[in-house]
Amino acid sequence: MQSQYQGVMLRIRGRVQGVGMRYYLVGNARGLGLTGWVRNRSDGSVECLVQGDRASIRQFLQAARTGPPLAQVDQVKTADAGHQPQLNGFEVRY
C-alpha cells in the first residue's frame, strides 16, 4: 500500500486569491480523505501540500485545475513532496 501513497506540492497560479480557492481545496481534500495544508502566497499564487493515495490525489489535482466558480486557474505546477507522517487532517495555513 505504501507504493500507492504519495505527497505532492502544488503551486496554483491565475485568479486564485479572494475567490474561495483555499476553502474549495480544503473541502475537496477532506472529502477525498487527504491530508495536508493550503495557503496564499505573497505573489498571488496558492501553495498546497497534499498527501494520500494516488487515485485520490489525481481527483484532487483535477479539482485544483478547475477551481471554484470565481477562480481562473492558469497553471498548476506539481512537485513530489514525499511523505510527512506528522500531518493529520487538511487545513488552511496563514
User: Could you say which of 13, 15, 22, 93 is catalytic?
Assistant: 22
User: Could you say which of 40, 58, 65, 93 is catalytic?
Assistant: 40
Per DSSP bridges, beta strands 35-40 and 72-80 are unpaired
SS3 at position 13 = strand
Is the Cα torsion angle 60, 63, 68, 71 positive or negative in sign?
positive
52, 35 Cβ separation under 8 angstroms: yes
Q: Is 22 a known active-site residue?
A: yes
Q: Is 28 a known active-site residue?
A: no
Active-site residues: which are they?
22, 40
